[in-house]
Amino acid sequence: MNTLARYLQLIVDPTFDEFHLDRGSVRLAFLTSVAIYHSVDRVAEATGRRPAHLRQLWCRESTEFRLVDIMAHHFKHVKSADERIPLSRGLPIGRALGFNEAGDTMDLRNLYFVIRDAVRFVHRKAGTEHPALPEPSVLPRRRAVARRASKTQ
């Protein structure tokens, strides 16, 4: 399980699949976020790079990975480092992710899609795909609009 691809197959994918079937489960949202977040450790081990450095790179490359990082740390530490930034300097990210003011309930409706796209991002890092989550293709309507635009030029 030392490679990212194997970790995704054994840990991330089955955990996400359970969350997919029970999208209202805070427990599964947390477990899936933690599993995705720790994907970076497999790459760090394989490349000899520091996990913290890779995490920073991945957070810059993927907004969804960054939000999953925030979620994993929110559940573990009550607030993530990003949430401790004074409101005058940033957005109340916990609220955007569905937490209420007290932090004791949350709306997982939008978080599901963040987690789904973070799974896709980590799979791209491994050069693989989640079997049930192929990369989205360009929508047919958008292709037709693009074709019409190219004909008028």
**What separation in angstroms does the CA of 97 have from each of 86, 125, 141?**
17, 24, 30
For residues 142 and 149, give the distance between their C-alpha atoms in angstroms, rounded to a whole number: 10
How much is the pTM? 0.74
Please check whether residue 62 is in contact with residue 121, taking contact to mean a CB–CB distance below 8 angstroms.
Answer: yes
pLDDT the model gives residue 84: 47
Residues forming a β-bridge with 99: 106
CA–CA separation, 31 vs 33, rounded Å? 5
pLDDT 10s per residue in the chain (153 long)?
669 999 999 999 999 999 999 988 888 988 999 999 999 999 999 999 999 999 999 999 999 999 898 888 766 545 544 544 454 444 455 555 555 555 555 667 788 899 999 999 999 999 999 988 877 764 455 555 555 555 555
Q: What is the spatial distance between Cα 12 and Cα 39, in angstroms, rounded to a whole number?
A: 8
Provide the pLDDT for residue 6.
95
